[in-house]
Amino acid sequence: VGAAAARVLTVAGGLPLLRGAEASAEPLGLPAGLVGPLIATPATGTVWPGRSTALLTFGGTYPGPTLRARRGDVFQLRLENRLAEPTNVHWHGLAVPAEADGYPTDLVQPGAARQYAFQIGERAGTYWYHPHPDRRTGAQVYGGMAGFLIVEDEDERALGLPGGEQDVALLLQDRRRSADGSLRYAPTPMDLMAGYLGDAALVNGTPDAELRVAATLHRLRLLNGSNARVFRVAFEDGRRFQVIAGDGGLLESPVAASELFLGPGERVELLVDLSRDPIGGSVRLASLPFSAGGMGPGMGMGGGASQGAAFSLLRLLVERPGPPGVRLPDRLAPFERLDPSRAEVRRRLVMEMRMPPFAGAFTINGRSFEAGRVDLRVERGALEVWEIVNASNEPHPFHVHATQFQVVRRSTGALGAHELGPKDTVLVWPGETVQIVLRFERHAGLYVLHCHNLEHEDAGMMLNLEVV
């Protein structure tokens, strides 16, 4: 695997889009907030126009309700499980006590309920929640169980970033179209290799999504909630945007970019200026094609469009004049820089997968997940540097619970703009090594680290991490 540019295909002429019939655009659904307990329940909804789809949901909707909290809040939420199978909730990106973290075997049985409670110590940012049951995370997330958890704080408020209708949370996911409209989840052994890839991109559960907006500055919070799909996010007209936050909240200052890779589990917040767009005009948010290493586009072994296929994500239709431009702040929010040269502990984590897939084929340091076995023991407060090595032909979004880390370097090129702040998930390309620096400070207990390709995770690419 060569430089980062090697995985980018050259696109001659216009952007090839898998879909994008403007005439059939669907209004984008924007998930409402939560009133009352969070109920895990089957539901019927409309994903594909004109057809009804059986879903697995939080709160009866896909996506689940958007939860909002302020830094310092004590967050309390009762989960009721009305599904036919056990489930739980993981608060992705938050450091919560181990008993509230959604450990894979810490489950709420059908008909049962439990209370989650923890204090939110995180910086303002775009976090999310999803189920985390052992071997069933992929199926439940694919069925519709995922939602935003947005944390706000005073530092962020003082910046006067675009708010209200100009602050839009977008859950990006791919799904497989089916003749009967169902979200069928049945990965074959070959699907496990790349992960369960779809052939259509949904934004907040909507294919061919369109959002009517004002001609002004917008804050877009993008969450890649796909099981396995990596998006190469860009605007179709190539316009630049300002990246203001990654997984763990605001960067120190905005960074201009025109595209970035977003792997499953990752978030990015960007500011896009629509103030000079004509009323009636539109711009499309898309995922550009790329070569993911290993198999080339169109060479996918399983179903769905191959990793690296192009997608249209969302059409922003500028339909009305906007409020006069918000001034873009040149400083955002500081965070403590971790210095890798002062690390007390160094570790190497090698992610591997074997062909054909079999039990135990998906490993980190040669091990597949086994509940309760301690694989890494870390001391609270110790500064650690980890080398994450991808010794396989597929990209792996590496994710760790219970803390945010900082990306030090990638062996194949520069960091993306959204990788310049605190993160909890980082994409590791085939053959690549990514170095991160981290410290576990908040809670002791048993947590996990894993690949956030949910098929890989469910197949065992996950280890236990005990914080002591």
> Which parts of 249-399 fold into alpha helices (H)?
none
| Shortest distance in whole angstroms from residue 339 CB to Cu ion | 25
**Residue closer to ligand C2O, measured from CB, 106 or 210:** 106
Closest residue to ligand C2O using C-beta atoms: 92
Cα-to-chain-centroid distance, residue 271: 18
**Residue closer to ligand C2O, measured from CB, 214 or 448:** 448
**By rule CB under 5 A, what string of x and - marks binding of each residue 446-465 to Cu ion?**
-----x-x--x---------
Bridging pattern class, strands 433-439 and 405-410: antiparallel
Q: Does 71 bind ligand C2O (CB under 6 A)?
A: no
Q: State the residue for tokens 């767009």.
A: 277
How far apart CA 391 and CA 146 sit, in angstroms, is 30
Which residue from 7, 71, 90, 232 is in contact with ligand C2O, where contact means CB under 6 A? Answer: 90
User: How many residues contact ligand C2O, by CB under 6 A?
Assistant: 10
**CB-CB neighbours of 6 under 10 Å:** 14
Q: Point out which residues pair with 285 in neighbouring strands.
A: 235, 314
Nearest to 150 by CA among 131, 180, 171, 133: 171
Taking a C-beta distance cutoff of 8 angstroms, is the pair 212, 249 a contact? Answer: no
| Shortest distance in whole angstroms from residue 144 CB to ligand C2O | 15
Q: Is 327 left (phi over 0), alpha (psi -120 to 50) or beta?
A: beta
Q: Which stretch binds Cu ion (CB under 5 A): 15-23, 88-96, 236-244, 312-320?
A: 88-96
How far apart CA 412 and CA 33 sit, in angstroms, is 41
Residue 456's binding partner among ligand C2O, Cu ion, none (Cβ under 5 to 8 angstroms by kind) is: Cu ion
**By rule CB under 6 A, what string of x and - marks binding of each residue 132-161 to ligand C2O?**
x-----------------------------
Q: Does 396 bind Cu ion (CB under 5 A)?
A: yes
Helix (H, G, I), strand (E, B) or coil at 414: coil
Q: Is 231 left (phi over 0), alpha (psi -120 to 50) or beta?
A: beta
DSSP 413: B
Residues 6+ apart with CB under 8 A from 158: none
Which residue from 130, 284, 418, 423 is in contact with ligand C2O, where contact means CB under 6 A? Answer: 130
Residue 451's binding partner among ligand C2O, Cu ion, none (Cβ under 5 to 8 angstroms by kind) is: Cu ion
**Residue closer to ligand C2O, measured from CB, 417 or 448:** 448
What is the amino acid identity at position 319? Answer: E
**Residue closer to Cu ion, measured from CB, 126 or 453:** 453
**Residue closer to ligand C2O, measured from CB, 130 or 232:** 130
**Residue closer to ligand C2O, measured from CB, 219 or 452:** 452
| Shortest distance in whole angstroms from residue 246 CB to ligand C2O | 15
Q: Which stretch binds Cu ion (CB under 5 A): 197-205, 281-289, 337-345, 400-408?
A: 400-408
Alpha-carbon torsion 465, 101, 343, 425, what sign? positive
Q: Does 92 bind Cu ion (CB under 5 A)?
A: yes
Which residue from 7, 20, 57, 92 is in contact with ligand C2O, where contact means CB under 6 A? Answer: 92
Q: Does 423 bind ligand C2O (CB under 6 A)?
A: no
Q: Does 132 bind Cu ion (CB under 5 A)?
A: no
How far apart CA 351 and CA 363 sit, in angstroms, is 6
Residue 130's binding partner among Cu ion, ligand C2O, none (Cβ under 5 to 8 angstroms by kind) is: ligand C2O
Taking a C-beta distance cutoff of 8 angstroms, is the pair 112, 156 a contact? Answer: no
| Shortest distance in whole angstroms from residue 190 CB to Cu ion | 15
Q: What is the DSSP string of 160-228?
A: T---GGGEEEEEEEEE---TT--------HHHHHH----SEEEETTEETEEEEEEESEEEEEEEE--SS
Which residue from 147, 265, 304, 322 is in contact with ligand C2O, where contact means CB under 6 A? Answer: 265
Q: Which residues bind ligand C2O (CB under 6 A)?
A: 90, 92, 130, 132, 265, 399, 401, 448, 450, 452
Site of interaction with Cu ion (CB under 5 A): 92, 396, 401, 451, 453, 456
